Amino acid sequence: MIPRHNFYLIKDLSRLSGHSIHTLKYYLKIELIREIHRTPQTRVRLFDDSTLEKLSQIRSWRKEHKSLAEIQRLLSLENQAQPLAS
């Protein structure tokens, strides 16, 4: 069975995650999150469920009073620990 992926526009991501669009754009700028695709014709950013999960983790760390620099380091460590998909 083929896994189904949900795709979101930035406004949907904002509504679902509870983060403002301004915050999401800032997180994109500092590379805490990344779009998974950008439509060629309109250049609209698309995100998926993994971005929602990452935003949930970021929110948890922010509630623990971690700085954005600390969160970047933690996300970097998580990315290094994940095995590469084959």
pLDDT digits (tens, 9 = 90+) for 2-57: 556 789 999 999 999 999 999 999 999 999 999 999 988 999 999 999 999 999 99
pLDDT digits (tens, 9 = 90+) for 48-63: 999 999 999 999 999 9
| pTM of the complete model beyond 0.85 | no
1 confidence band (pLDDT: 50, 70, 90)? low
How many whole angstroms from its chain centre is CA 79?
13
- Please, what are the domains in the chain? 7-53 (1.10.1660.10)
Measure the CA–CA gap between 37 and 67, rounded to whole angstroms: 28
Tokens 């700085």, residue? 67
